[in-house]
Amino acid sequence: MSDSFASARSRPSAARLLILSGLLLPAVFSDAAMAKARDDAPALRDLEALRQASVSWVEIKLPTFQGPRAFRVARPDDRASHAARVMPHRAKADGGPLDAGWMIESNVLLQLSDAAAADLIDAGWALESIDGVPGFRVLRAASIRAAAAAATRLADQPGVELAYVDIVPPQNDRALPTDPSFADQWHLQNLITPIADANVAPAWNLGFTGAGVVVGVIDGGALVTHPDLAPNYSSALSTSTVASSHGTSVAGVIAAQNNNGLGGVGVAYDATWSNHVYGSATTTAGSLGAFNASHVIKNNSWGPADNARISFLDPAVRTALQTAATTGRGGRGVLFTWAAGNGGTADRIDYDPYASSRFTIPIGAITDTDVAASYTEPGSAALVVAHSSGGARGVVTTSGSTTATYTSSFGGTSSASPLAAGVLALVMQANPNLSLRDVQHLLVRNARKNSPADSGWSINAAGRSIHYRFGYGAVDAGTLVPAAQSFTPVAPLVTLDSGLLNVGATLPDANTTGLTRTFTLPENIRLEHVEVVLNISTLRVGDLRVTLTSPGGTPSVLAVPRSDGTDNYADYVFTTRRLWDEESSGVWTIRIADETASNIATWNSWRLRFFGTAITPTCPADIANTDGNPGSDGTIDNGDFTLFFAAFFAGDGDPIRTFADLGNTDAEVGPDGLVDNGDFTLFFTSFFSPC
């Protein structure tokens, strides 16, 4: 966000700001660096394909410098999007009513007097000057819809001569890959359902293609001589020359070369990749630990059998994973992307000690229509999802273990994980200094909420949208890469531990109520991961349901009844990521129920481990972080203002309303369960007289 608003300490009166709030609230303004960059898609010039695809696009009338014009926009809620101009009177011989190849950006260009600019800045509008362009200012909105609304409202303000949305006409000076199968790689650019892809073209157009980033492929091996993979392969950083078709496909999703006349392309087509294999503990630990001063990312499209049974990490493998994640890359940590499993709703990520580990980045799968793939697993350990098979189309990539071939049917979380790994290669090229924890925060903050109408979405106590199958949403390169460029590193890790909590009680058999235990944590940190260590003696862990509830009331289902005949939870570690940014202090509740008859289970003990960052005291008005979500960033600015009003006027029962509960009836700091004039007074007192 521009500092124009935050630094304007000679703020307008509250009354005047309220009068202008009708202008301010419809548009949520972004950082000056847009989270979506332009990209020109030659494929979109195929008007017949566009006509077939256009049913899923949104028609919007946009203010332009030539007056209102209708456009069909692929991503109206993003900061940049493909679009087609609607020209209903154009003859079919001239190409028909859709003029393709346009781009819309969420900038509002203003031609106005200096006095009008000063008035708007004084009222809270974050206007930026443009060097060498006198008389013009730019306003960067959070979305194309918000830009259109802001331009329409600002056009009527005194002293404003022009207010229009930034529109890029069709141009030919930028190009996407020319590889013959690129048009079929819908996971990179989806013309039929434009929202359902990794949105990589904006990142490519910014110049980020993975150059200089080393991505390890830990798999069954890969065909290193494949002509689409060989140019980017590093034998010096590899530990194996073994090949498997599966690994060849994984490598292609990440780093297949561009513009060579062969097949398609990888997400990070200029990244370097290396070949490693998993297998015995010795082999797997060696691959996880190899060359970690050079590797930035290691992808793992493998894991324990998808049979709904818990699995345990070999100590050597656990040590290799933890060491790489904490000391690799000079202490910044290697990023381990991990396929989250293909067991569907019968299985859970929580039973997989690799994907659920706090040292990895688990990747679930969504389809070419942006919905959950039937095979993707739910879990409290879910973080994000990426596109793969399961809809009408599979993924086009390299193939072959002895002979170089291609496939159009690769899929599963085996394909979603390298797609995310490739996107993260673009992210790490944009900002090589990011740590593993930085990247986890980036993903949480910038994941796109796919399938927003899905009933599985809920909101945690920090105001973040969460889903057992989607985590925080879909990986989106067009958002992640610009966010990475300006990302402020997260504070040092703080770890808290409950110590061993003894229970020593028999669980009621065939009983859904079970036993409940609580632990009160006095210390307060802002959470990232929470681990639950369980010790239960039983002949069948599949009889048990385990649920942890945070002090903020967010549940994390860790295990459900299933056909798992494994005996005993012996120091078994469950991990939840659903509590990101919640505060740790308060009463933690765990409930365990033995819901199936015949086997007696004894709950011996449990333990909680908390991982996050220290909480810095903030002013009451500092309720939004840099991306506009609930939190704090140490700055009182437009994001706080917008969030407060959205929360203040939200209906009863809306979780966002709690973020307006700042003070008690005497306007003193401290929520009282009510949203009233005390909160309003406290917010404005803090906003205009910062602590």
Residues involved in catalysis: 219, 246, 414
- Say how many Å lie between the first and final Cα of the chain, rounded: 21
Taking the C-alpha atoms of residue 191 and residue 178, their distance in angstroms, rounded to an integer, is 16
Assess contact for 137 and 159: CB atoms under 8 A: no
Angle (deg, nearest 10), helices 413-430 and 245-255: 30
Task: Report which DSSP code applies to 249.
Answer: H
343 contacts 323 by C-beta, under 8 angstroms: no
Specify which residues 82 forms β-bridges with.
103
DSSP alpha helix (H) spans, 467-616: 477-485
Residue 41, both tokens: 């898609």
Cα(17)–Cα(684) distance, rounded to whole angstroms? 10
Q: Which of 293, 240, 278 is nearest to 414 (CA)?
A: 278
Q: For residue 152, count other CB atoms closer than 10 A to its CB.
A: 18
- Contact, 146 vs 27, CB < 8 A? yes
Element (H, E) at 250: helix 245-255
Element (H, E) at 212: none
Beta strands 214-219; 335-339: pairing state: unpaired
Taking the CB of residue 617, how many other CB atoms lie within 10 A of it?
A: 7
User: Residue 274: CB partners within 8 Å, gap ≥ 6?
Assistant: 214, 215, 216, 217, 233, 234, 237, 238, 239, 291, 295
| Distance, CA of 267 to CA of 617 (rounded, Å) | 41
Q: Which of 355, 389, 365 is nearest to 451 (CA)?
A: 365
How far apart (Å, rounded) are the C-alpha atoms in residues 554 and 559?
A: 16
Residues 447-457 as b/e (b if ≥16 CB within 10 A, e otherwise) read bbebbeeeeeb
The span from the CA of 29 to the CA of 639, in Å, is: 8
Pairing, β 214-219 against β 272-277: parallel
Spatial contact of 363 and 439, defined as CB atoms under 8 Å apart: no
Calculate the alpha carbon distances from 229 to 236, 275, 452, 620 in Å. Answer: 15, 11, 37, 54
Residue 170 tokens read as 């069709």
Question: What angle is formed at CA 221 by the lines to CA 219 and CA 224, rounded to 5 degrees?
Answer: 130
Residues in a beta bridge with 583: 526
Given a contact cutoff of 8 angstroms between Cβ atoms, the answer to whether 481 and 203 are in contact is yes
Neighbours of 28 (CB within 10 A): 18
Alpha carbon distance 542, 558 (integer Å): 12
DSSP structure class, residue 334: -
**561 within 8 A of 540, measured Cβ to Cβ:** no
Look at strands 297-300 and 272-277 and give their pairing.
unpaired
The token pair that represents 386 in the structure block: 């990426």
Give the integer Cα–Cα distance in Å for 530 and 585: 13
Rounded-to-integer distance, Cα 664 and Cα 671, Å = 6
Which token pair is 432? 């090589």
Picking from 465, 445, 446, 444, the residue whose alpha carbon sits closest to that of residue 456 is: 465
